[in-house]
Structure 1
Amino acid sequence: MKTTIVGYPRIGSLRELKFAEEKYFRKEITAAELEKAAEKLRLENLDVQRQSGLDLIPSNDFSYYDGMLDTAVLLGAVPARYTALGLSPLDTYFAMARGYQGSEGDVKALAMKKWFNTNYHYMVPEVDDDTEIKLSDTKPFDLFSEALANGVKTKPVIIGAYTFLKLARFTGKKNAGDIAQSVVNVYADVIAKLSALGAEWIQLDESCLVKDMTAEDITFFKDIYTKILDKKGSAKILLQTYFGDVRDCYNDICALAFDGIGLDFIEGIKTAELVEKNGFPKDKVLFAGVVNGKNIWKNHYAKTLAIIDDIKDKCGEIVLGTSCSLLHVPYTLKNESKLSDDYKKYFAYAEEKLSELAELKAITEGECSDKLEANKALFSQPRSGADKSVTERVAKLTDKDFVRLPEFAEREKIQKKEFGLPLLPTTTIGSFPQTIEVRKNRAAFRKGELCEADYDKFISQKIIDCIRLQEKIGLDVLVHGEFERNDMVEYFGECLDGYIFTEKAWVQSYGTRCVKPPVVWGDISRAKPITVKWSKFAQSLTDKPVKGMLTGPVTILNWSFPREDISLKESAMQIALAIRDEVLDLEANGIKIIQVDEAALREKLPLRRSDWHSEYLDWAIPAFRLVHSGAKADTQIHTHMCYSEFADIIKDIDDMDADVITFEASRSDLTILDVLKENNFRTEVGPGVYDIHSPRVPSENEIENALHKMLDRIPAQKLWVNPDCGLKTRGEAETVPSLENLVAAAKNVRKTL
């Protein structure tokens, strides 16, 4: 058997690409210097994969920002507002990703959404009626040639034509069918050029095949690929799927002229059943995704070998691989100098997963029996982390623990009277810019170079400054700024028993944004109050309400590496009880508005609608309700969600029974407003009026126009005014004028009501 992976991380094991790009954005290095840094990382990755013994190494899995954005550029789907800036190709690319504000013009970034059921975000390609689809970039060819020049004939990776067309946003009268032939022509050209360069295998990622497909979808897919495969020539085409199974179209894709088909045996609930029931074409290569590309636990060799044994007689050639790209896990355990071996022996990051594939290959060939026995021994021994009191507390929950009284309408009346806020109350989502000074002081405190008293003094002054700034700007509901927090999940995880933390396990979330997910090791509980100290201090500084800021249980779980030995539901309820304790402590200490962020609620929603409730929503929504069901009627519960498609679960979101919810909306052109109106959304709502993931400053007029659009669909009594996400990643230079314009716009619109 041969081995391969779907893709490899690209941000750098120590985030080198992130830092190089940020230097480029600050004009501290040139485009040539940025490309040199990127090339160095690509060649390092190439060498790691080559030395691991990987048989088919991918190329073109590198990106400066996002693979979907790269595909849009490849196809020439660059909206005219970006080309009109007259920037270089690289700066035009970054303008699409981040927005642009300068003498050449002022444009917002493309919309950004979650990539299927992951915490990675992709840029949504935009196609209008004037878009001319044609081969417009050389990146796949350049990176294949680069690897070839360094001794490796790679497997080029490109997002597939069907997935591109299904995820693209059509802004005019044309639809996917209208440009399908042009897209087919580009893919045929790409395959021909790569084949001419010497590529033997070309991987086309079609992750949309694991979602619900109608008969029309299947016909559309078959039409596209019948045409593409008719022109493939001598190249071998791998249809790669991941994040689930292809139950709707298995036989259809097997009947097409693909040379290989990649199936996910980890998240694909029905993948093994499909192969067992229908067989697999002997003239095709099965690329079996048997190593988990999304979690950091070691592969259980006995279970994986059982899968291989079950399918090998039904297939011809099998290539062992990962379930999806390793983009979703950290680079290497070699950077974890502080993590105990008692933990590390259970983990496998991207580089270690390459070793697992090599060992699995050797075991199937009758070698490495010692590796198999060591793996069996590891999984046979019990792990630490069990807490009987936690599991008993979860077991004792009853239906009433998930219901808050009085009901929403009565609470709304009580809270209007309690807070006396104006129409269109203004607030922010929570965090304020984390400056170099903030990060340096936090690092010094963690290293023991700054004592706790001095660190607390520093944080206290930052909070004082933040409260005074918000009062000066004129915001109605304030926040403390979250200067003490490194990350909205890691900070809470550090204060919960049952979590462990890594040192350098960085994972790309979008562009240059990286996160370091904590690991759920054992049963979760709260040992002591987490946020009460600083929330209480902030509230003491002002007569205006200051929100207590918490992260919700579903987001904490979804943005962690979860356990695999218990259900996600069990873990979520454990975390929910811990956050519930924090809500009640905040309330007891005079915090009257408490925001429990569920930014990642939709993230783990199953990709198939039939599994939504039974596999997820039936425990995810109750977990949030459990957090706040004990709060008093005059305590206002807020939540926040961002960068997902909410339309299809909007009723479930309303059923969370929060008092106020803020949404990301600005990058999506406020399309969620119609959904809220159509569904008679009960909860008070704050759709984001400007995009904080872009450095541009929205004008007062721009925000006023957004508010008028909102008021066409949302009653003024239910509308809040806020940015679309936290301000942590922004600089002070753009944050202050943006918020000043936000407050001024809200006041101007109030006068018209």
Structure 2
Amino acid sequence: MSKVKSSNLGYPRIGEKREWKKALEQFWTGKLEKAEFLDQIEEIRLKHLQKQNDQGIDLIPVGDFSLYDHVLDTAVMFGIVPKRFEYAGGKVSLETYFDIARGTTGAVASEMTKWFNTNYHYIVPELDGAVPTLVENRPLQFYKEAKQKLGINGKPVILGPVTFVKLSKGYKENDFKAVVDQFVPLYANILRELQEEGVEWVQIDEPILSTTLLKEEISLFNDVYQTLNEAAPNVKVILQTYFDSIEHYEDVISLPVQGIGLDFAHDRGQNLAALKKHGFPEDKVLAAGVIDGRNIWRANLDEKYAILAEISEIVSKNQLIVQPSSSLLHVPVTVKSEETLDGVLKGALSFADEKLHELVILTKGLQDGKEAIEKEIEVSTNAIQTLNESSIRNNTQVQEAIQNLHTYKAEREAIFNVRQGIQEEAFQLPLLPTTTIGSFPQTQEVRKQRLKWRKGEITDAAYEEYIKAEIKKWIEIQEEIGLDVFVHGEFERTDMVEFFGEKLAGFQFTKFGWVQSYGSRCVKPPLIYGDVSYKKSMTVEETVYAQSLTDKPVKGMLTGPITILNWSFVRDDISRNDVTNQIALALRKEVEALEENGIRMIQVDEPAIREGLPLKHENRESYLNAAVYAFKLATTSVQNDTQIHTHMCYSDFKNIIDAIKALDADVISIETSRSHGELIYAFEENTYDQGIGLGVYDIHSPRVPKIEELTRNIDRALQVLDPKLFWINPDCGLKTRGINETVAALKVMIEAAEQTREKLNAEQTVNI
């Protein structure tokens, strides 16, 4: 009897205790020699493979591991290095690899943006006329490593050519097919070499198939994969999609590959419906992604088995592979480390290792019959039901508020033009006011004091005094360097979502639930597991204290409802819109508390609005409408002379500009420095007539910008934006930067603002 196979699409890189992150950062700071660094990284990588093997996974991914980002890995494999890094050809050095990602004193890092609709960031490849060459066969290298050192016959994972080029920049849209065609022979070489090594299965990721594509674009896939199939006919290719249903189902399942990977967790039932309607080829395998690779809730094994049973009525069992819906990169490593979590919650959780176990159980059930896994099904059902029946998920006051949202005002009292005049009179700011986004450097000492406080080694009072001292120091620094609008620095906060989650009901936090955001930057998303409600003020004390130290306005700093939602692991028993509005109502009370205590500038950050944008165009309007409503629900109860700011990250700004206008924020700042010029083009095509700050320098790089760079960025922006509405700021918070570089960079920024003001005033005088 043929065996139903289990498969994984990718495993978290960071390690159970973030060993990967620690090794990277020690190497970057010179505390770890290159050889020792590579040895440590290899040990981590092999441990991850062995864990999957021990779980009993049949098809174990190799080559999914990365030192920074898998898209960057693909670029350097083909010798795609921006000219400014002076690459001379051949295998890309480790040093150049990290320079592309992090920048150098003389070269700006490559742009970084969100990986589809996730909170993972990838490095955008810059093609710019480059002639790609296969300088290193990474999949082959990792396949041989797993086989030789662990005896694992792995499944190489490769980012597909169409998706890779789609995610790249530096070519004209009309040249897309020609650019893809440049890469196809190189992919063919990779597959030939894998074939020679005896590789059986290869996973080629083409998640772009889950976005809205034109019918004619599918023909390109046919040409590409026909060529690859002919190049290595003995290699079985699984064309892997994820994050949504595929478009043009019949065309995709007819592509010349041996397997199709479909997401049955985030497809909204559409992949399953298409499968039932159109069937599936008898000569291909269906890799069924039934376990949610992006959330941390225990699978209802009864429901998942039922889906597989439906699929197996259409696709024979010997054609089925059971797998996650996507790479497990997006979830923490293991629940086993969470020793302090409440038992009811812990019982309903499933991280990467637990998801692998769920795959094995479902594979066994499909192979041997449902009765073989009845005990495991009962355990999962009981764990989920116990959480659903708990008091934290049944807060009647919160649920009644959601049912009566129509009673809450969600519009400002006056339109922007009226508010603008009132606020100009109230704040008396200069032309091109300067500010920062919110956080200042969190030094090792800040983190040390917070850890001591959390461990109970210092009292609450002592910790509060320490935080006040940091606030006072940075208020004085801001006075000295001459900023116009201050922030308190956020020294009491670890993460912009975690901080609020710790203070709101309905949230829980893990100890080791880290996931990679970008590079070595790991975040620990909160778990929204119950009804969200406001308990007490969260930011008033620190903000009011900071304001007492200066006559300059100090912004209150909050994280917006959509960002809290998108950067959390969200309960899956009610709609995401209901959860968002629960958060918005809680934040509304904090906004009102800040205003009541004299804080008249309040920034409610929404950097994650874009990343939650559905991959299908037809679903975007409803998402954006819900996002706008939640933001306004949180922010519109204030007076006209209270100025509402927001901050967001740039990505396809022109495609969501109507929604951004609809937020009706008085001032929006946008993270743009790595793609500043591209965003300016968006304003040439679209009018934005409210306050706006385009980040004038990149905070992700340690380099201090030159004044010429900043004045150029400002001048370029002012060609399309009204100087009376333009603010000058860094492109993001400064939490991860050092003190000296932060102060130096801000001084340059302020000097650039002053030079531009003088120039504008001189031009105005001449015109008069």
Q: Are the counterparts in 2 of residues 128 and 172 from structure 1 also a CA contact under 8 Å?
A: no
- Structure 1 segment 42-57 matched on structure 2, within 5 A: 42-57=45-60
Once the 2 structures are TM-superposed, how far is the Cα of residue 128 of structure 1 from its aligned partner? 1.1
The separation in 2 between residues aligned to 1:421 and 1:561, in whole angstroms, is 40
Distance 1:13 1:108 in 2: 32
Aligned partners of 1:134 and 1:182 also within 8 Å: no
Residue deviations 1:669-710 (CA, integer Å, cap 9, x gap): 331122234221122110111111111111111101110001
Alignment of 1:649-668 (within 5 A): 649-668=656-675
What SS class does the counterpart of residue 253 from structure 1 fall into?
helix
The reply on whether 1:371 has 2:379 as its aligned counterpart is no
Query: C-alpha distance in 2, partners of 1:517/1:724?
Result: 23
Query: Does 2:694 align with 1:691?
Result: no
Aligned ranges for residues 126-165 of structure 1 at < 5 Å?
Answer: 126-129=126-129, 131-149=130-148, 150-165=150-165
- Output one character per residue of 1:55-90: Cα deviation in whole Å (capped at 9) or x when no partner: 000000001111110111112211221135999711
SS at match of 1:634: coil
Distance in 2 (CA, whole Å) between partners of 1:509 and 1:35 is 22
Match among 341, 344, 363 for residue 343 of structure 2: 341
SS in 1 for 2:610: coil
Question: Taking structure 1 as reference, are residues 355 and 400 closer, same or farther at Cα in structure 2, changes over 3 Å only?
Answer: closer
Matches of residues 234-253 of structure 1 in structure 2 within 5 Å?
Answer: 234-246=234-246, 248-253=247-252
Partner of 2:306: 306
**Pairing 1:733–2:740 present:** yes
The structure-2 alpha-carbon separation of the partners of 1:567 and 1:245, relative to structure 1 and needing over 3 Å to count, comes to same
1:646 pairs with 2:653: yes
Which of 666, 672, 675 is the aligned partner of 2:682?
675
Instruction: State the distance in 1 between where 2:679 and 2:159 align.
Output: 27
Q: Distance in 2 between matches of 1:171 and 1:709?
A: 22
Please state how far the C-alpha of 1:11 moved relative to its aligned partner: 1.4
Q: Superposition RMSD on alpha carbons, in Å?
A: 1.5
Candidates 339, 352, 361, aligned match of 2:354: 352
| Match among 393, 398, 401 for residue 401 of structure 2 | 393
Whether 1:98 and 2:98 are equivalent positions in the alignment is no
Residue type of the alignment partner of 2:585: L
SS of corresponding position for 1:670 = helix
State the alpha-carbon separation in 2 of the partners of residues 343 and 173 from structure 1. Answer: 48
Once the two structures are superposed, what CA deviation does each residue of 1:389-413 show, in whole Å capped at 9, x if it has no partner? 1111222222761111111110011
Name the TM-score, length of structure 1 as normaliser: 0.97
CA offsets 1:454-499 (integer angstroms, 9 cap, x no match) = 1011101000011111111111101000000010000000000111
Matched, 1:570 2:549: no
> Offset at 1:169?
0.2
1:480 aligned onto 2:488: yes
Question: Cα–Cα, structure 1 residues 652 and 627, in superposed 2: closer, same or farther, change >3 Å?
Answer: same
Shift in CA distance, 85/413, structure 1 to aligned 2, threshold 3 Å: farther
Q: Which residue of 1 aligns with 2:107?
A: 107
Structure 1 counterpart of 2:428: 420
Tell me the secondary structure at the aligned position of residue 92 of structure 1. Answer: helix
- Which digits, 9 at most, give the CA deviation of each residue in 1:635-662, with x for residues without a partner? 0000000153322011111100100000
TM-aligned CA deviation for residue 173 of structure 1: 9.4
Distance (Å, rounded) in 1 between the aligned partners of 2:5 and 2:684? 54
8 Å CA contact retained: 2:59, 2:155: yes
Letter in 2 for 1:259: Q
Contact kept in structure 2, 1:243 and 1:323, CA below 8 Å:
yes
**Residue deviations 1:9-64 (CA, integer Å, cap 9, x gap):** 00121111111111111111122122111101111101110110000000000011
What is the distance in 2 between the residues matched to 1:50 and 1:262?
21
Letter in 2 for 1:321: Q
For 2:542, the equivalent position in structure 1 comes to 534
1:273-288 superposed matches below 5 A? 273-288=273-288
Q: 1:52 to 1:686 in 2, by over 3 A?
A: same
Name which of 516, 529, 538 aligns with 1:521: 529
Alignment partner, residue 193 of structure 2: 193
Q: Secondary structure at the match of 1:289?
A: strand
Q: Give the partner amino acid of 1:160.
A: G
Say which is worse superposed, 319-328 or 11-20, in terms of deviation.
11-20
- Give how far 1:300 is off: 0.6
- TM-score when normalising by structure 2: 0.95
The answer on whether the counterparts of 2:300 and 2:377 sit within 8 Å (CA) in structure 1 is no
Question: Secondary structure of the equivalent of 2:505?
Answer: strand
Q: Which amino acid aligns with 2:582?
A: Q
- In the TM superposition, what whole-angstrom CA distance separates every residue of 1:69-127 from its partner, at most 9, and x where no partner exists? 011111221122113599971111111101111xxxx1111111111110001111111
Match of 1:321 in 2: 323
CA separation of 1:314 and 1:172: change in aligned 2, threshold 3 A: closer
Partner in structure 2 of residue 264 of structure 1: 263
1:561 and 2:569 matched: yes
- Distance in 2, Cα, partners of 1:547 & 1:641: 16
String of CA shifts for 1:498-544, please: whole Å, max 9, x gaps.
Answer: 11111110000010110000111111111000000000000000000
Matched-pair contact (CA < 8 Å) for 1:525–1:578: yes
1:642 alignment partner AA? C
- Amino acid aligned to 2:18: R
Q: Which residue identity is paired with 1:537?
A: Y
Structure 2: distance between partners of 1:566 and 1:550: 25
**What's the offset of the Cα at 1:174?**
8.1
Query: CA 1:173–1:251 in 2, change beyond 3 Å: closer, same or farther?
Result: closer
SS at match of 1:722: coil
- SS of equivalent to 1:187: helix
CA distance 1:4–1:606, shift in 2 (3 Å): same
Counterparts of 2:175 and 2:99, CA distance in 1:
25
Query: What is the DSSP-based 3-state SS (H/G/I as helix, E as strand, rest coil) of the residue aligned with 1:127?
Result: coil
Report if aligned partners of 1:60, 1:140 keep a CA contact under 8 Å in 2.
Answer: yes
The count of corresponding residues between Structure 1 and Structure 2 is 746
Does structure 1 conserve the Cα–Cα contact (< 8 Å) formed by 2:79 and 2:132?
Answer: yes
Give the C-alpha shift of residue 280 in structure 1.
0.6
Q: Secondary structure of 2:340's match?
A: coil
Identify the residue that residue 8 of structure 1 maps to in structure 2.
11
Q: Residues 651 and 679 of structure 1 are in contact (CA less than 8 Å); yes or no, is this contact kept in structure 2?
A: no
How much has 1:613 moved relative to structure 2? Answer: 2.0
Distance 1:222 1:7, change over 3 A: same
Q: Hey, what does 2:752 align to over in structure 1?
A: 745
Aligned to 2:628: 621
Deviates more, 1:135-144 or 1:654-663: 135-144
Letter in 2 for 1:309: A
- The letter for the 2-side match of 1:295 is N
Report the Cα distance in structure 2 between the residues aligned to 1:217 and 1:233, rounded to whole angstroms.
24
CA contact (8 A) 1:650 1:676 kept: no
Secondary structure (helix, strand or coil) at the match of 1:741 reads: helix
SS of residue paired to 2:419: helix
Q: Distance in 1 between matches of 2:352 and 2:536?
A: 35
2:27 is aligned to 24
- Contact residue 98 and residue 109 of structure 1 kept, 8 A: yes
Shift of the 85–14 alpha-carbon distance from structure 1 to 2, 3 Å rule, reads farther
Q: Distance in 2 between matches of 1:462 and 1:207?
A: 45
Q: Name the CA distance, whole Å, in 2 between partners of 1:376 and 1:580.
A: 36
Indicate the residue corresponding to 2:216 in structure 1: 216
Code of the residue aligned with 2:95 in structure 1: it is D
Q: Secondary structure at the match of 1:392?
A: helix
Distance 1:176 1:11 in 2: 34
Q: Is the 8 A contact 2:423 2:642 kept in 1?
A: yes
Aligned: 1:600 with 2:605 = no
The code of the aligned residue for 2:328 comes to L
